[in-house]
Amino acid sequence: MNSAVLVVLLLVRLCSATLSYPFEESLEFKPLKSNNLLASFNFKLNSSEFQLYQPKGETLHYSVFSKLLGPILQETNTRELHLRFSQGWYDAEVYGELPAKGGQSGGTGVELWSVIEGTDDESVFHDWIRLVNSLSGLFCASLNFIDSDSTTYPVTVFQPKSQLLQQNSLENDLYLLRSALPREPVCTENLTPFLKLLPTKGKAGISSLLTGHKVFNSQWSSMSIDITTHCSETGCHYEMDQSIKLILNVPLALERNEMPIPKPTPGSKLKCDPSKFFDAYHCFPLDEVSELDYSLLDLFGKQIQGGALISNTPTKVCADINKKAWNIDVNSSTNVDLHDENGKTCFTITDSENYNIHFKSSNTSEIAPLPAPPIYASRSLSGYSQDSGGFRIDLTNPTDEDSKIIIFESTPWFVRIYLHTLTITVNSTNTYTVDDPEFDTLLNGIIYNPAIDRKKPSHLELLVTIPAHTKVKLALQFDKSMLLYAEYPPDANHGFEIEPAVISVLDKDTNDVVYQMRTTTALLTLPTPDFSMPYNVIILTSTVMSLAFGAIFNLLIKRTVTEEEAERKAKSASSKIRDRLKQRVQSVKNVFKR
């Protein structure tokens, strides 16, 4: 009996050792300027093959692909899904270009766009609402607030990545829909379901480093999910790319470990500028620490808990460092083979042991070259009136060639933009309006769908050419609409957040998007009513009504008499009581006499 059990356990062990699934994961670290560290967590997995038009009620097996997302995509006819959760500000001048050319980054808040197959606009929008409501419950986000007044249909950007458009096997047309919630906070409640989509569930592999209080204490973070449908002659399958990009300030993270409760830095730990006078009472602190020694345990509070053993490829960990100024050491109970791969120091994890990476540098300012972005952009609001204002977008082309970009802007219905007020200023000297011939050389195309009150937002796409080493400013005026009392959100005096503008850089030959970035959100103030006034009116009305009711009630119930009459009645009443008491006393005396 015991030998049979041992044989069964051995067979199970052998099967589990040879079993692998289409799942890949990789982790990359890159030191940045100002003692920041970029950490990129990348996951890729595929589902099992299925028929695109599956009969309803038939059971599907998705392999390592999430069984939560699969039925949602099937029921809503979603062929592509792209979801972003981002917070913080990415400073391109300090951090360089966005990771993955901006393809896996989103704007502040939540951003969602998808490709849905359908017969007409009405049925597609119905599936879109079902999709956002399902994702709202799955990711604990306010995606259920997405409606027609925040949904746009992009034309030149957010194009499908899969090859479904080139296939003739589709029964219906494909529709591209997009929406964003810039006011949505990103927190641990969004990270937990994100990790549950992975086959390791955040318990093994590189995902074991991810905890909410570490991820969201970063300077900038972005979580992305990209699902595409790929078909062949035998069937179709889903391909999902998940990634988490975050930038950690290393000295700040180390300080939090030493002092969870913020306290003034002791004088003995102050690092003063030696080029200036300092003593026990005077100190000019150094701007940045030049020497650092830290590990993954210091940054994330955890070690890498082995690799993803169910994956068909080993877990890969890389560090893009300047080898002259940085040293990397990996602590593990197994031997680690550090090797060079495309200029990066990498190693693989094929077991379940813990791995801790140590980073040490004597001069943290010496880092690997940071590629500069092909465009710098910022957006701001102009004007101070309660009924009008303007948008201003500043663009800078630092390259030696002309850049062709697409600016995608979506504004709420209560922001009424006027295209005839669009002006372009070059190098802060020459300003061109829509009537000038030079205007058409810079602005090559416009797609504009005006807003409808309470039904759909404004949708604007601009194709702009920016000459080499040139600064361009675009200005646009708008009016502010009045809202109904019930349409104001909580804390309306804080303002209304306008979603970021999306700027895509095109390849000069193929017109494909080679880089994409978002501006920051814009905080718009609208005329806000005094929300305390209804409560004041209610209190005043209640007080007046109570006073009036008391007076009228007394007049109806009570009768008014003079003071003399009241005294006479009081005396007569007291005399009657006195006589009755005397009669009672006399009757008692008579009883005792007998």
87 and 11, same structural domain? yes
163 and 67, same structural domain? yes
Query: What are the residues facing 425 on neighbouring strands?
Result: 431, 473
559 and 470, same structural domain? no
Phi, psi at residue 247, to the nearest 5°? -115, 120
Instruction: Determine, yes or no, domain membership for 151.
Output: yes
CATH label of the domain that carries residue 436: 2.60.40.740
321 and 223, same structural domain? yes
Please state the pTM of the whole predicted model.
0.86
What does 329-388 look like in DSSP terms, one character per residue?
EEE-SS----EEETTEEEEEE-SS-EEEEEEEES-TT--PPPPPPS-EEEEEEE---SSE
Instruction: Determine, yes or no, domain membership for 482.
Output: yes
Mind listing the pLDDT tens digit for each residue in 167-223? Answer: 657 888 999 999 999 999 998 899 999 999 999 999 999 999 999 888 999 999 999
- Quick check: helix, strand or coil at residue 123? helix
What stretch of H or E contains 43? strand 36-46
Tokens for 154, please give them. Answer: 């992009």
Instruction: Determine, yes or no, domain membership for 591.
Output: no
Q: How many domains does the chain have?
A: 3
Q: How far apart are CA 173 and CA 120, in angstroms?
A: 8
Instruction: Determine, yes or no, domain membership for 296.
Output: yes
293 and 173, same structural domain? yes
Instruction: Determine, yes or no, domain membership for 586.
Output: no
Among 122-136, 487-501, 519-533, 547-561, which stretch is predicted with the lowest mean pLDDT?
547-561
306 and 443, same structural domain? no
Choose among 157, 179, 176, 161: nearest CA to 408: 157
Residue 373 has pLDDT above 80, yes or no: yes
Q: What mean pLDDT value characterizes the chain?
A: 88
399 and 319, same structural domain? no
367 neighbors 37 (Cβ within 8 angstroms) = no
Tokens for 193, please give them. Answer: 């379901």
Long-range contacts of 235-239 (CB under 8 A, 24+ apart): 235/49, 235/50, 235/51, 235/52, 236/49, 236/50, 236/51, 236/52, 237/46, 237/47, 237/48, 237/49, 237/50, 238/46, 238/47, 238/62, 238/65, 238/70, 238/73, 239/44, 239/45, 239/46, 239/47
pLDDT of residue 175: 95
Instruction: Determine, yes or no, domain membership for 590.
Output: no
The number of beta carbons lying within 10 Å of the beta carbon of residue 178 is 22
- CA 58 and chain centroid, separation: 35
- Quick check: helix, strand or coil at residue 112? strand
Q: Which of 301, 327, 361 is the last residue of a domain?
A: 361
475 neighbors 422 (Cβ within 8 angstroms) = yes
300 and 430, same structural domain? no
- Cα–Cα distances in angstroms (integers) from residue 497 to residues 126, 227, 492, 521, in the given order: 26, 28, 11, 6
409 and 286, same structural domain? no
Domain extent, residue 557, equals 538-579
Q: Which of 490, 524, 558 is the last residue of a domain?
A: 524
45 neighbors 2 (Cβ within 8 angstroms) = no
120-134 mean pLDDT: 96
Mind listing the pLDDT tens digit for each residue in 331-358? Answer: 998 888 999 999 999 999 999 999 999 9
291 and 169, same structural domain? yes
Of the pLDDT bands very low, low, confident and very high (cuts 50, 70, 90), residue 543 is: very high
Q: Which of 361, 393, 408 is the last residue of a domain?
A: 361
Cα dihedral sign, 361-364-369-370:
positive
